Structure 1
Amino acid sequence: MSELIAYIAPQNVLPALSDCILILNSSNTHLNLVLEEQASSTQKRWVLPQPVQRLSLGSETCHWLIASLHHEPQPLTPTNRAGLQIRAMGHCLNHQDLAHSLNLGDACSLNELIAAVLQRQIDDGANLTEAMLIANAQLKGQISYLCHQESQAQFILASCLGLPLFVGLESGLRQICSSSLRLIRQRANQVYAMKDGDIVRFGLDTPLLILGDGLEQVLEMPAVTKNQSVPHFMLEEIEAQPETLAILVQKYKEGYVLPLALRAKLAGIRSVTLLACGSSYHAALVARYWFETLAGVSVQVGLSSEYCDRDVRADDHDLMIAISQSGETTDTIAALKHAQASGRPRTVALTNSPGSTLTTLVDHHLLTHSGAEQSVSATKSLTAQILLLFMLANALGQARGHLSAEQVASHDEEMLLLPNVVAQTLLLNKEIRRWANGLHRKNNLFVIGRHTHYPVAMEGAFKLREVAYQHAEAFPAGELKHGPITLVNDDLPVIVCLPWNQQAQKMLDDLKAIRANHGEIFILSNGNIASVEGTSVIRMPSGLTHLSPIIYIVALQMLAYYCAVLSGNAIDTPRNLAKVTMDF
């Protein structure tokens, strides 16, 4: 996934950019830069060394710049008649239609397309902010872009159309905008997370939000706690999830995620079996609902450690999906071999590790592209697994004729929206830490949910046990009345995953029994629910339907992390655990 950084300040900003590149430590190897040089704009390109090293970006004084980082070399884009320079990231769904209407070639870049759309509005008499408001209504998809105009050299404008962008104030009057939340938190003293549809003007004055009617409003920019480095790998990997998910979505849109040879076999699939352990098992349980609903197939989910003791007879109409972050999990490898020995299923490995043992045993392998994970606890690799399983379920439903073209398009739009909603979820960290201040002292907790959010509750309880060393149990909310409710009292908190969907009313009914037993309730919900005595609510972002389990998992990851920190635990190396589970 491409990344964007912009700087503007009274002093030279090139050293700050060099620092940012080191902090990002990005796998992107191509840097495109448009910047001030001798009172005018110029463009430069660099190939970044791997591993990333400090760059010497020149000795000239530069007061503003816009940088973009990419996997592949990008063409330089000439400044147009309006003096515009654009740096964009994302995917425009109507790119070809807009390009044709502007007499651009099909191969024009996203930068060129947006510049031309803005130029057309400016030619019709609009100023730059008016042009952006009109252009943003025309651009379809998940896009963010930065814009500089030579006649307004003291400002840069940022536009968020789904992909995350953050505006921050640094010391020395420097103002920064970046697509990386991790970078902005380390660099800025105050941060504003742009929402879908926002346009922000920043520069040598107070940052302003451009409203839909063209009026301007001063940004509210909360202060952030400055850390020279992220204190634990687990937190760094939690905060990396918008970027890792955006990378996976981009690769999916470009056709690199699901092999054509696998797609060709999907129409003949009648059932799906998912094999996994630990957090990957919870990913499989979430995906079970999608394979049933979106693809219309029967589904089994097997714990790898138990599957070898079952008498199974899979045939070539069964899709067997073995899930392992490392691709080396002994139980999952054994379960796959057991299935292959007793039948002839189509086999797929879903892993983060190309070339691992699991990938050598299957017909096809799917990679999560989530990057190395240093903490023992699965965070970004887990959410990437869940997203990749959604992609596969969507493709299976399409191949079997179970989904309409409109449903497929809606699912594609939801995937494009996901990284930004995850970024919004990460901004709830202060509220979640307030919960942790009280919850980390509790010896026992319940976590509950319904439908796809019951496996989410299982993962939340799993993380609290794994990292915070707390005895947390997950239950389907409807099962509380069949025994577990007897344990609920004023010393047993209940954490509730309550997305505002068709299960919401049932969940609200379940909560009445908890309150009747004086249980303290902690609700994660995007519904309009108020906190009252005995019930604390954190308002979750809206905008997702099928993929909402991912943001609830992210919130519970943060809760487990902060509970563990407050308890003084070893965060990245929990006791008695290792990253790859092997037999001893």
Structure 2
Amino acid sequence: QPVQREPTRILWDPIMAEKGGYRHFMLKEIYEQPRAVTDTMRGRIVPESGNVVLPDVNLDPAAVRGIRRIVLLACGTSYHAALVGRSMLERLAGIPCEVDLGSEFRYRDAVVGPDTLVVALSQSGETADTLGAVKAARAKGTPLLAITNVVGSALSREATGVLYTHAGPEIGVASSKTFTATMTACYLLALYLGRQRGALTAEEGRKRIQELLEIPRLMEATLELDAPVAELARQLFHFQNFLYLGRGIHYPIALEGALKLKELSYIHAEGYAAGEMKHGPIALIDEAMPVVALTPRDHTYERMLGNIEEVRARDGKVIAVAHAGDREIAAKADHVIAVPPAVDLLSPILMVIPLQLLAYHMAVRRGCDVDQPRNLAKSVTVE
């Protein structure tokens, strides 16, 4: 008698193994962020002395003391990391900083010279506009530091010094772990310059390093928001427009949150400095435009509460990303995403995680290709 067997379809493939059990590379990489931040600081901090060791930046003490200005160049998500980095560098190193889009800097006659440190940020190290900006700066005799994730990339070869992020390979087109690793690298650079220039004492350096060492643990705790954020996405995925608001060092996180939503779910989203809401975007707010408000307990807190009240007065739906235990926010917002408190300069590393998760789950709900969104490339190598 012939043997009858039901065919079994094997759904496993090698790509699934690389995803480590996660549904998408993007989600896997979001969860890898605590490790990426740990690896970026590994071997570079000396907690006992409050020092940061960055030999590959190739800046001798005299060169560090001679820096009068820093210009950060980047595109896309790296530009948002550079905006966060500006606050870190100015606060910890006491050096005036500017941030410029690579695509804009290269086409104007920017004033830079030997006493300007240009810091170019690029996940891939191959971004055409950033490389073009770097070459324009180098032609004026400017020392150049690259912050990148790829060893041997074009940017690392063009630069006079390099600071690698050690985030590991990132497969998802939309950046996640390289963003938080780049912010960590900016913080290390700020501590390094601050200690070298005497802007930070040894005691202050030790304190700042201890605060940084706490961040991976707090990131792990923040990732526990995955399930509630997925439920929030279920309630929001049908909306077609979003406004993201932030102030101070969290304004770039509003920009990044809006960018992630656009990239992954193809929903129109704008990131705005919350103080600028009344200068235009407030005209758009109604019940059909949810507002994501970054509301940590820092010096901008009261002003952010005012923004939330303005949104509520116009029937807007408020999703607040706030510190855990904040009852005042809970009473005012329609939804609260509660993240662990952290010092203000490092808070963006935590605050961006629920925004990444929200964009991811919204995209999944809408049936989008999370790992390879339409019309996008991991490395933008054309102008």
Using the size of structure 2 for normalisation, the TM-score is: 0.90
Residue 251 of structure 1 and its aligned partner are, at CA, apart by 2.4
Report the counterpart of residue 388 of structure 1 in structure 2: 185
**One of 529, 533, 545 as aligned partner of 2:344:** 545
Opposite residue 203 of structure 2, the aligned amino acid is E
**One of 98, 102, 112 as aligned partner of 1:304:** 102
CA deviations over 1:346-395 (Å, ceiling 9, x no partner): 11111111111111111101100000011101111111001001110111
Moved over 6 A (4+): none
Tell me how far apart the structure 2 counterparts of residues 306 and 544 of structure 1 sit (CA, whole Å): 33
Query: Would you say 1:293 and 2:56 are equivalent positions?
Result: no
* Unmatched runs of 5 consecutive residues or more in structure 1: 1-22, 26-181, 183-227
Report the counterpart of residue 277 of structure 1 in structure 2: 75
How is 1:105-120 mapped onto 2 (pairs within 5 angstroms)?
none
Report the counterpart of residue 244 of structure 1 in structure 2: 36
The structure where strand makes up a greater share of residues is 1
**One of 315, 319, 325 as aligned partner of 1:518:** 315
SS in 2 for 1:262: coil
Residue 313 of structure 1 and its aligned partner are, at CA, apart by 2.7
Residue 253 of structure 1 and its aligned partner are, at CA, apart by 2.2
CA deviations over 1:268-304 (Å, ceiling 9, x no partner): 2110000000100000011111122221111111101
**One of 323, 332, 356 as aligned partner of 2:130:** 332
More divergent stretch after superposition (447-456 vs 520-529)? 520-529
More divergent stretch after superposition (403-412 vs 416-425)? 403-412
Residue 483 of structure 1 and its aligned partner are, at CA, apart by 1.5
Structure with bigger gyration radius: 1
For the Cα contact (< 8 Å) 1:238–1:380, is it kept in 2?
yes
Opposite residue 250 of structure 1, the aligned amino acid is R
For the Cα contact (< 8 Å) 1:258–1:392, is it kept in 2?
no
Tell me how far apart the structure 2 counterparts of residues 469 and 361 of structure 1 sit (CA, whole Å): 35
Opposite residue 581 of structure 1, the aligned amino acid is V
Tell me how far apart the structure 2 counterparts of residues 24 and 508 of structure 1 sit (CA, whole Å): 45
Report the counterpart of residue 278 of structure 2 in structure 1: 481
How is 1:314-353 mapped onto 2 (pairs within 5 angstroms)?
314-341=112-139, 343-353=140-150
Residue 260 of structure 1 and its aligned partner are, at CA, apart by 6.9
How is 1:119-268 mapped onto 2 (pairs within 5 angstroms)?
229-253=21-45, 257-259=54-56, 261-262=58-59, 264=61, 265-268=63-66
For the Cα contact (< 8 Å) 1:418–1:544, is it kept in 2?
no
Opposite residue 261 of structure 1, the aligned amino acid is N
Residue 263 of structure 1 and its aligned partner are, at CA, apart by 5.2
SS in 1 for 2:351: helix
For the Cα contact (< 8 Å) 1:318–1:345, is it kept in 2?
yes
For the Cα contact (< 8 Å) 2:308–2:333, is it kept in 1?
no
* Unmatched runs of 5 consecutive residues or more in structure 2: 1-15, 47-51
Tell me how far apart the structure 2 counterparts of residues 246 and 433 of structure 1 sit (CA, whole Å): 26
Residue 399 of structure 1 and its aligned partner are, at CA, apart by 1.8
For the Cα contact (< 8 Å) 2:242–2:270, is it kept in 1?
yes
Opposite residue 77 of structure 2, the aligned amino acid is S
SS in 1 for 2:42: helix
**One of 432, 435, 448 as aligned partner of 2:245:** 448
The structure where helix makes up a greater share of residues is 2
RMSD: 1.9
SS in 1 for 2:308: helix
Tell me how far apart the structure 2 counterparts of residues 24 and 321 of structure 1 sit (CA, whole Å): 37
Opposite residue 278 of structure 1, the aligned amino acid is G
Query: Would you say 1:404 and 2:196 are equivalent positions?
Result: no
Report the counterpart of residue 171 of structure 2 in structure 1: 374
Considering Cα pairs closer than 8 Å and 6+ residues apart, tell me whether 1 or 2 has the greater RCO. Answer: 2
For the Cα contact (< 8 Å) 1:275–1:335, is it kept in 2?
yes
Tell me how far apart the structure 2 counterparts of residues 256 and 569 of structure 1 sit (CA, whole Å): 43
SS in 2 for 1:467: helix
Check 1:258–1:561 CA distance in 2 against 1; reply closer, same or farther (3 A cut).
farther
CA deviations over 1:89-126 (Å, ceiling 9, x no partner): xxxxxxxxxxxxxxxxxxxxxxxxxxxxxxxxxxxxxx
Opposite residue 241 of structure 1, the aligned amino acid is Q
State, as a whole percentage, how many aligned pairs show the same letter.
38
Tell me how far apart the structure 2 counterparts of residues 299 and 435 of structure 1 sit (CA, whole Å): 38
Report the counterpart of residue 159 of structure 1 in structure 2: none
SS in 2 for 1:415: helix
